[in-house]
Amino acid sequence: MSYCFLNYVPATDGEGERPDCPDGADLCLLADLRGLGWGIFEVTVEGARPPGSPVSEELARLIESGKRYPPALALARHEVDQVFGDQRPSQSEFAQAYGAGLHAHLSKQHDSPYVVAASLRDEPGYLAKGEWYWLLGVSGQPARVSWVSDDFHIYSNDVNDFDLTGQQLKQLGSIG
């Protein structure tokens, strides 16, 4: 397993793009920007050297640490989109911003209001009933909870989709 930059290439079926990686590789997109043409991936290729260019050792350590605290990976991923907007950063600039976000969220995890709670419903490929997810906050009317997926995206669901106590709801910012 390694963390590296992979370019996107046209998909073999002609629809959209895919990471430029050998068939059979296990991939997890960690961060990218729409239309940038590349992203940072976790890559495992059996019996072969991973493709792409590796991230720095420092960023690899931050990513590995973030895997033990998924909110950091999801929030850093979300923030690089906001940092750059329509700009087209270099890989170095992107890695620096992503790493800074990871470091910031890992450093302040002791003050974060996030909780882990079980899902009460199934949504295939998205949410699994009985599995536990990091929840980041509650907002809106009707109340919705933002949560971190297995591939470090932030999604929003009805608050009743999770098994939450009154204390957890309060901690997540729910009023009432």
List phi, psi (to 5°) of 156: -130, 135
Q: Are residues 7 and 35 in the same domain?
A: yes
CA dist., res. 103 & res. 19, Å (int): 26
105 and 122 belong to one structural domain: no
Q: What's the pLDDT score for residue 113?
A: 94
Between CA 62 and CA 72 the distance in angstroms is: 9
The residue range of the domain holding 159 is 115-171
Average pLDDT, the chain: 92
**35 & 62 share domain:** yes
Whether residue 120 lies inside any domain: the answer is yes
Structural domains in the chain (count) = 2
Q: What is the pTM of this model?
A: 0.89
* Residue 124 and residue 65 in one domain: no
Same-domain pairing of 23 and 62: yes
176 domain residue, yes or no: no
Query: Which residues does 9 contact at the CB level (< 8 Å), separation at least 6?
Result: 17, 18, 19, 20
Contact 1, 46 (CB under 8 A): no
Confidence at residue 15, expressed as pLDDT on a 0 to 100 scale: 82
Predicted confidence at residue 175, as pLDDT, reads 66
Tens digits of residue pLDDT in 11-20: 887 788 999 9
- Please say which residue of 110, 129, 144 terminates a domain: 110
pLDDT in tens, 102-119: 999 999 999 999 999 999
